[in-house]
Chains A and B, each alone.
Chain A
């Protein structure tokens, strides 16, 4: 970081701060129950629920899935996935999911 006169700040740069560290409860999505209504994505205050192809292993790993979890995901599907780097665990998604397909679990860190 360098401070110059009238220095302006670059866009979208809060992404360097991983607010996932704030989290106590972690959302776990039951993708089989998900009806793709995208309410979780819309209401998420972090804007960190993304639509990801189940084939996109890199994205799934980046958002916090472990390799063994990925293998058990539905194939050839679009999944709604919280990016655990930023998810603060507010549980709005779980609360608003019309199918109750998102459940909050106490996260062991």
Chain B
């Protein structure tokens, strides 16, 4: 591995998946890259003035406008005939929710921009509140478990499908636990003459609550249970999936994290576990993961 383009000394939690994700993305993109980031854990932990962990040019403006800011960067680079990668790296809050309009505009205008979402499935920077990416029945601080609640009542928003509805030519899901796959996808995305979107499963130690050392293992379990299929679409067509030979039961994944603890303590949890298993089974069938 080349020297990391994300310097140490950043303030991310010990065992956070986000810096590993950035490292892998930058490793694949190389130094001729400009990164645009929305407000996020990433922003506050990597750029406390007067320091920055970024070894490539980097800009942060606001929470909901990274894709628009990146669009401005990209048109100016094109105008100057500069062949520099423009990569947005943002969390799920900005990607799925508050930045949706800006993302939609960037996708639809067809900018040559790679948008990477490091998806930790809640608003972690503000203290683990539910986002549009929070999975079914996960606990967050705004979807806690209680006598009338089993956590987040809705399933996760299908952001890759939304990207594809914009005719984004390259869309992929990836995982911090599969670095070779992630780097290959970043390289493939950067070859596309247009927008691309990669959604990377990036566990959050604070929000999901697991032992720090198990960060990669948790991410791997998401893939191995079928809950996080590693897929790749070119021009809307599924061109590749990572096979999961013998899918593990979803309990293994859910038990690894505190955010699902209530499902194992409360009697109603058993039915929820079945529903989540059904979601994994549906993925396994849809993507033919087990074949």
Contact = CB atoms under 8 A, between A and B. Distances in A.
Note whether A and B contact each other (Cβ less than 8 A).
Answer: yes
A47 B1 CA distance: 10
B72 interface: no
A17 interface: yes
A18 interface: yes
Interface in A11-56: 11-19, 22-23, 38, 41-48
B55 A45 contact: no
A96 interface: yes
B6 interface: yes
A47 B52 contact: no
Nearest to A11: B55
Given A22-B14, A46-B8, A38 B1 contact: yes
A95 interface: yes
Given A12-B53, A17-B51, A90-B213, A43 B20 contact: yes
Main secondary structure of the interface of B (DSSP, over half): loop
Nearest to A50: B3
A96 B54 CA distance: 26
A89 B13 CA distance: 10
Contacts of B48: 14
Interface stretch (B94-102, B127-135, B214-222, B262-270): B214-222
A109 B77 CA distance: 50
B9 A16 contact: yes
Contacts of B1: 38, 41-42
A79 interface: no
A14 to B, nearest CB: 3
B15 interface: yes
B213 A47 contact: no
Contact of A43 (B10, B14, B216): B216
Query: 8 smallest A-B Cβ distances: which pairs?
Result: A14-B9, A91-B213, A47-B4, A88-B14, A86-B8, A90-B15, A90-B14, A95-B213
Interface of A: 1, 7, 9-19, 22-23, 38, 41-48, 83, 85-86, 88-92, 94-96, 104
Interface of B: 1, 4, 6-12, 14-20, 23-24, 46-57, 176, 179, 211-217
23 contacts: A7-B50, A9-B49, A9-B50, A12-B52, A12-B54, A13-B51, A14-B7, A14-B52, A14-B53, A16-B51, A23-B14, A45-B16, A45-B20, A47-B7, A48-B8, A88-B15, A90-B215, A91-B211, A91-B213, A92-B216, A94-B213, A95-B213, A96-B217
